[in-house]
Amino acid sequence: MSPDNTSVLLIYTGGTIGMIENAETGALENFNFEQLQKHVPELQRFTFRIDTYQFDPPMDSSDMDPEAWRKLVRVISDNYNRYTGFVILHGTDTMAYTASALSFMLEGLSKPVILTGSQLPIGVLRTDGKENLLTSIEIATACRSNGQPIVPEVCIFFENHLMRGNRTTKMNAENFNAFRSFNYPVLASAGIHIKYNNVQIQVHGNRNELKPHYLLDTNIAVLKLFPGIQENVIEAVLSTKGLKAVVLETYGSGNAPRKTWFLQRLHDACEQGIVIVNVTQCSSGTVEMERYETGYQLMQAGIVCGYDSTTESAVTKLMFLLGHDYSPAKVRELMSRPLAGEITV
């Protein structure tokens, strides 16, 4: 695409980046998108077209859900051919979930979809929002000499780093560097220049057709183990009505207690067709169930290896696969294969 027809669709969903302090209560509240542009006059200095789409009303990202993800997919797919790239302004709290979900729902994506936000509202003097927004727009429009987008992926850009969306986790509620991609290298670093880590960026050999997906099944649970966890807690989770899958957060390289009742409960759930995926509670590293006996027994019980998946990615991938009405065996098989670069097998 030549610079003449470069364009970006800026989608504002809500979050701190577009918030302002209520003079009476001191609480942060959403304000109108028009005001966002007023606070970032620099937007007008881009020489290409920036159109906007606003969620009405804007959402705190704690309220994000599959309905809102579907809306994002609809907006992107309806406008896919009209823009070089897409920037989504989003609250930081659940941004990693949204980025993960979109990476699965936007199958065949060949344009940049960059999510960003900020820790301080854009109207505040020390805001990190301006930097994040302006650089995201630059990345969303960056093309190679042959006109192909440099980063045709769903990403999060935050505090100088561009990360594959489904590899990210929010790990800091205070500092500007709120996100990390613990198990995959950053896709770009922004300093004086934006340096792209081309080897790590997914590029499809030929231009794929975008295939948007809308069906998600939320009949899943996340079960985090801790020493002393009671049988009735495990039982309550596994006997949840309609439950189809569980993300089991285990210790270290995928280890769990060896207690007979524990393994039996998991085994029975697997037999009933509940898909249980083993991800580690550690921020960094991968599950290797064959490494210790404590992990090996989980494998014997029928539990699927989640490799180096984040919980955010495992949760949204399960929703996506279950939305297809696949058999439990098929979901297990697909959980062990990267669909959008979310795991390293």
Q: What residue number has its CB nearest to ligand ASP?
A: 91
Going through the chain in order, the beta strands assigned E by DSSP cover 7-12, 19-21, 28-30, 49-54, 85-89, 106-107, 113-116, 154-158, 161-164, 169-170, 179-180, 188-190, 194-196, 211-212, 220-224, 245-250, 275-280, 304-305
Task: Confirm if 324 and 338 have CB atoms less than 8 A apart.
Answer: no
Distance of closest approach, residue 117 Cβ to ligand ASP, in angstroms:
5
Instruction: Specify the residue for token string 């280890």.
Output: 255
Cα–Cα distance for residue pair 269/243, rounded to 1 Å: 10
Length of the chain: 345
Q: Which CB, 129 or 341, lies closer to ligand ASP?
A: 129
92: annotated active-site residue: yes
Q: Which CB, 96 or 298, lies closer to ligand ASP?
A: 96
Distance of closest approach, residue 14 Cβ to ligand ASP, in angstroms:
6
Task: Confirm if 195 and 188 have CB atoms less than 8 A apart.
Answer: yes
Distances (CA, A) of 120 to 17, 128, 177, 285: 7, 6, 12, 31
6: annotated active-site residue: no
Q: Between 111 and 130, how does the x/- string for binding to ligand ASP read (CB under 6 A)? A: ------x-x-----------
Binding to ligand ASP (CB under 6 A): which residues in 197-226? Answer: none
Task: Confirm if 255 and 292 have CB atoms less than 8 A apart.
Answer: yes
Q: Is 61 known as a binding-site position?
A: yes
Q: What are residue 63's phi and psi, to 5 degrees?
A: -90, 0
Q: Which CB, 73 or 122, lies closer to ligand ASP?
A: 122
Distance of closest approach, residue 337 Cβ to ligand ASP, in angstroms:
31
Decide if residue 159 touches ligand ASP (CB under 6 A): no
Task: Confirm if 194 and 143 have CB atoms less than 8 A apart.
Answer: no
Out of 60, 138, 217, 268, point to the residue binding ligand ASP (CB under 6 A). 60
Q: How many residues belong to the site for ligand ASP (CB under 6 A)?
A: 11
Stretch that binds ligand ASP, among 11-19, 180-188, 243-251, 254-262 (CB under 6 A): 11-19
Decide if residue 15 touches ligand ASP (CB under 6 A): yes
Binding to ligand ASP (CB under 6 A): which residues in 68-97? Answer: 91-93
Residue 262 half-sphere exposure, CB side, CA atoms within 13 Å?
A: 18
List the catalytic residue out of 6, 16, 98, 280.
16
Q: Is 327 known as a binding-site position?
A: no
List the catalytic residue out of 6, 13, 92, 310.
92
The secondary structure of residue 53, as a DSSP letter, is E
Task: Confirm if 122 and 91 have CB atoms less than 8 A apart.
Answer: no
Q: Which CB, 93 or 312, lies closer to ligand ASP?
A: 93
Q: Which CB, 176 or 326, lies closer to ligand ASP?
A: 176
Q: Is 268 known as a binding-site position?
A: no
Q: What are the residues binding ligand ASP (CB under 6 A)?
A: 14-16, 60-62, 91-93, 117, 119
Can you say which residues are annotated as belonging to the binding site? 61, 92-93
Can you say which residues are annotated as belonging to the binding site for substrate? 61, 92-93
Positions marked active-site: 16, 92
